[in-house]
Amino acid sequence: MTGELSPIDKAKFVAAKKATDFVEDGMRVGLGTGSTAAWLVRCLGEMVREDGLRIKGVPTSTRTAELAREVGIEVISLDAAKWLDVTIDGADEFDGELNLIKGGGGALLQEKIVATASDQMVVIADIGKEVETLGAFPLPVEVVPFGWQTSQALIEETLVGMDVLGRSSTLRMNGDAPFITDEGNHILDLHLGRIGNPRQLAMVLNQIPGVVENGLFIDICDAVVIGYGDGRVEVRDINAGTVEEATLDFVETDNLFTDLAD
């Protein structure tokens, strides 16, 4: 399997594989959305099938739920779980304080709800997702369909007073139609270039009528597992102030995931 992966996919895989160390038998686990999170779900599915791991997974999107069931993970709702031991998810960007931009896959609302309902949130990412300052990746903002253009105008007007480089926004599309989230909402992608004060921006955006949630995850992430294309992996725990480094060996004949769609 891994012999056929690109370096960036190898990085995602080793990060996901290492993150399984945070999962123990009997846990209720938040399962993220996106390409890196999909690797995690597959790794956990292997542990369920091969090692008898017993966990209950709370997915952050319908596509994650489908993959989790496919690989043998028991899926339950957040209401049934009530509280989670850990959530493991990817990120579009993360900075040195483990502030995040998420929502590139369109699941930011469920992702934020699940992450904040957990004892611990762990981010898995390739090294290319680390930035000095958030904002190069467009910031997703979920808005209700009613009056979305008014919400967009209010957002762009608000950005004039924010510490950002750009102030334009675009409606996310799915072909010729607007992208629709699992909750039936739209997403506006804000092209900011640089976000000087992520905490302030996150608070201000959520005060705008029509805005449901934004993709800035502030003071939510506890640890990040960073994968590299050569198999190295780094675990940074912001609470403990520790950095752990390791190298994961690839098993070239491993066919675990070849029959699963990404």
What pLDDT, in 10s, does the model give residues 78-91? 999 999 999 999 99
Is 3 labelled as part of a ligand binding site? no
Give per-residue pLDDT as tens, 235-253.
Answer: 999 999 999 999 998 654 3
Q: For 68-135, where are the E strands, in sequence order?
A: 74-75, 86-89, 93-94, 100-101, 121-126
- 16 vs 130: CA distance, rounded Å: 16
Q: What are phi and psi of 36, to 5 degrees?
A: -70, -40
Which residues touch 213 (CB under 8 Å, ≥6 apart)? 108, 109, 112, 141, 142, 206
> Are the folds of 2-130+219-247 and 139-213 the same?
no
The secondary structure of the chain in percent helix, strand, coil, rounded to multiples of 5, reads: 30, 25, 40
Is 33 labelled as part of a ligand binding site? yes
Domain ranges of the chain: 2-130+219-247, 139-213
What average pLDDT does range 156-180 have in this prediction? Answer: 97
CATH number of 2-130+219-247: 3.40.50.1360
Clarify whether 111 is annotated catalytic.
yes
pLDDT beyond 90 at 155 = yes
Is 90 labelled as part of a ligand binding site? yes
- 138 vs 170: CA distance, rounded Å: 10
pLDDT beyond 90 at 101 = yes
What average pLDDT does range 132-160 have in this prediction? Answer: 98
CATH class of domain segment(s) 139-213: alpha beta
What average pLDDT does range 127-143 have in this prediction? Answer: 98
Is 102 labelled as part of a ligand binding site? yes
Give per-residue pLDDT as tens, 8-45.
Answer: 999 999 999 999 999 999 999 999 999 999 999 999 99
Other Cβ atoms closer than 10 A to 262: 9
Is 175 labelled as part of a ligand binding site? no
Catalytic residue among 46, 93, 111, 213: 111
Banded pLDDT at 261 (limits 50, 70, 90): very low
